[in-house]
Amino acid sequence: MKCSSRNYLKTYSVLECHFADKFVLLKFLGHLWCKPPHRGEESVSALLQVQCLHIANACLCSVSGKTLKELSKLTCTVVPSLLVPLCSPISAVRKSAMSCIKTLKARLSPAQAGSVTTFIRVLFDNAEELAADPEQLHR
């Protein structure tokens, strides 16, 4: 499975040195991709959102064990935070978020089935609509 381009994997490797726990790294990146693009001082660029999502996708490709278990819990904020970029007016942001959802679906086994896995499957099943239309989640 191709997770991300080589540049994002290099960036992920650098971040991994600073965030030994992949779950903490994913939560940090989630804070960045959830900020609205270009709206005041607390904003980020769409490019930064896309980069964060690609780095998260690289991270999701390599998680296992404890981190996967954490991601499948209802109390985990990483999966619901992917809904924010899915509502972005910028297509590249939505597509990057869908890449993360596709990776999560592939990584979470049926043995970890639960509400989060079901939620990811519903998002995955509607991937084309969600990537094409920023208003899809509102419907």
Q: What is the pTM of this model?
A: 0.82
For residue 134, give every residue at least 6 positions away whose Cβ sits within 8 Å of its Cβ, in sequence order, or none: 86, 87, 88, 89, 94
Per-residue pLDDT 10s for the chain (139 aa) are 345 455 555 565 656 656 778 888 999 999 989 887 666 665 578 888 999 999 999 889 888 888 888 888 888 899 999 999 999 988 999 999 999 999 999 988 766 667 888 888 899 999 999 888 888 877 6
Cα 117–Cα 119–Cα 122 angle in degrees, nearest 5: 110
Residue spans of the domains in the chain: they are 6-134
Q: Say what the pLDDT of residue 4 is.
A: 45
Burial annotation 67-102 (CB, 10 A radius, 16+ → b, else e): bbebbbeeebebbebbebbbbbebeebbbbbbbbbb
